[in-house]
Amino acid sequence: MELEQALHAARALVLADLVADEVADADIVSLVEDAVAHRRWWVEQWPEGAAFVAGLIAQDVQDALLDRYGRWPLCPVCTESGDPHALEVEPELGPDPHWVCPKTAIAVARVGRLGMPVEG
């Protein structure tokens, strides 16, 4: 996959998740742009990593949001526990990243498909 295509696809997936969670305001979209710019350098150094860039950008945005706004995306599986926690991206470095509940190991959605049913 060409570098720019991989970056644009990753950007679109993360933005789709932000929109699904209704948190895609201008400040947060700027965090996505920063993450894409950072990962552009990374994938230029390791072109074979292009397949992993969506999960990495999702993690970068998640980390930036934690620092500025709080946990995102919140786990929809454990709503009864009274202990809100964020989903994690799995695999941390691999293709086909998913948002997964770290407490139950349930895959909630593929990156880019929050709010939609998990596909086989």
- Could you read off the pLDDT of 21-50 as tens digits, one per residue? 999 999 999 999 999 999 999 999 999 999
**118 in any annotated domain:** no
The Cα–Cα gap between 88 and 25 comes to 22
* Average pLDDT score over the chain: 92
Contact 97, 89 (CB under 8 A): yes
Q: Average of pLDDT values for 71-97?
A: 90
Q: What is the pLDDT of residue 65?
A: 95
Q: Find the domain containing 95 and state its range.
A: 1-110
**5 in any annotated domain:** yes
**39 in any annotated domain:** yes
**91 in any annotated domain:** yes
- Kindly state the percentage of the chain with pLDDT values over 90: 81
**43 in any annotated domain:** yes
Q: What is the pLDDT of residue 117?
A: 63
Contact 65, 17 (CB under 8 A): no
**47 in any annotated domain:** yes
pTM to 2 decimal places: 0.91
Run of H or E including 100: strand 98-100
